[in-house]
Amino acid sequence: MSKPTQTELVDRNTVLKLLSDEEVSRVSMAETKSALIDGAEYVDLAHLDQGVQRFTSSASFQKDDIVTRTAVSDQTWSKIISRLTN
Q: What is the pLDDT of residues 31-85, one digit of tens each?
A: 555 667 889 899 988 888 888 999 887 776 666 788 989 889 999 999 998 888 7
pLDDT for 3 equals 61
Q: What is the pLDDT of residues 57-66, one digit of tens each?
A: 777 666 678 8
Tally helices (H) and strands (E) across the chain. 4, 3
pLDDT for 13 equals 83
Select the more confidently predicted residue: 30 or 75. 75
CA 7 to mean position of chain CA atoms: 16
Burial class (CB in 10 A: 0-12, 13-18, 19+), 6: exposed
